[in-house]
């Protein structure tokens, strides 16, 4: 087992020589010799100990010779957006449910039962889930600062 270091070169499982640009939650952001950025797991990287271990000298362009494109971080997968939205909605539902039981009777809604309150909260939760997911995906697809 070896330690993967940012800035060092490694052989990727695809046979490309890559340079590690960052590490986040066990996933490595790497850049290949033609400037393509992608993510890799540690199990996909092997140490390049000698220049002879490289596929060919012509395939490798050092980071000094080629400007490094920044690797965009912070983008979520669709599954990540769904999970975040659900956590947000569960918290919002709990707050909404409690607030409805306290606030609505103050405005004359005295016949509000737990089942009616739950139904109202459920309808608003579905609306909020869709809204939150659509907004998150819209902003994740924007290219602010990642051009």
| pLDDT per residue as tens digits for the range 3-28 | 788 888 888 888 888 888 888 887 88
In this prediction, residues 32-56 reach a mean pLDDT of 73
By 3-state DSSP, what share of the chain in percent is helix, strand and coil, each rounded to 5?
A: 45, 20, 40
Domain boundary among 57, 73, 89: 73
Domain boundary among 73, 90, 108: 73
Residue pointed to by tokens 């087992």: 1
**pTM for the full model?**
0.41
Cβ–Cβ < 8 Å for 47, 75: no
Nearest CA among 65, 63, 28, 59 for reference residue 46: 28
Is 147 contained in some domain? no
Highest mean pLDDT among 61-65, 110-114, 125-129, 134-138: 110-114
**Is pLDDT at 1 greater than 60 in this prediction?**
no
Domain boundary among 52, 73, 94: 73
| pLDDT per residue as tens digits for the range 59-116 | 444 444 444 445 455 567 888 878 887 888 889 889 989 998 999 899 998 888 999 9
């Amino acid at each position: 087992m070896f330690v993967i270091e940012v800035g060092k070169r490694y052989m990727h499982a695809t046979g490309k020589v890559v340079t590690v640009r960052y590490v986040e939650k066990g996933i490595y952001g790497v850049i290949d010799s033609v400037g393509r950025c992608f993510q890799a797991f540690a199990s996909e990287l092997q140490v390049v100990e000698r220049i002879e271990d490289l596929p060919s000298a012509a395939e490798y362009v050092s980071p000094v010779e080629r400007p490094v494109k920044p690797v965009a971080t912070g983008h979520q997968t669709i599954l990540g957006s769904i999970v975040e939205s659900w956590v947000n909605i569960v918290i919002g539902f709990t707050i909404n449910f409690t607030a409805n039981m306290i606030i609505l009777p103050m405005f004359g809604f005295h016949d509000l039962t737990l089942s009616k309150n739950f139904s109202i909260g459920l309808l608003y939760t579905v609306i909020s889930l869709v809204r939150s997911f659509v907004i998150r995906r819209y902003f994740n697809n924007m290219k602010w600062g990642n051009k």
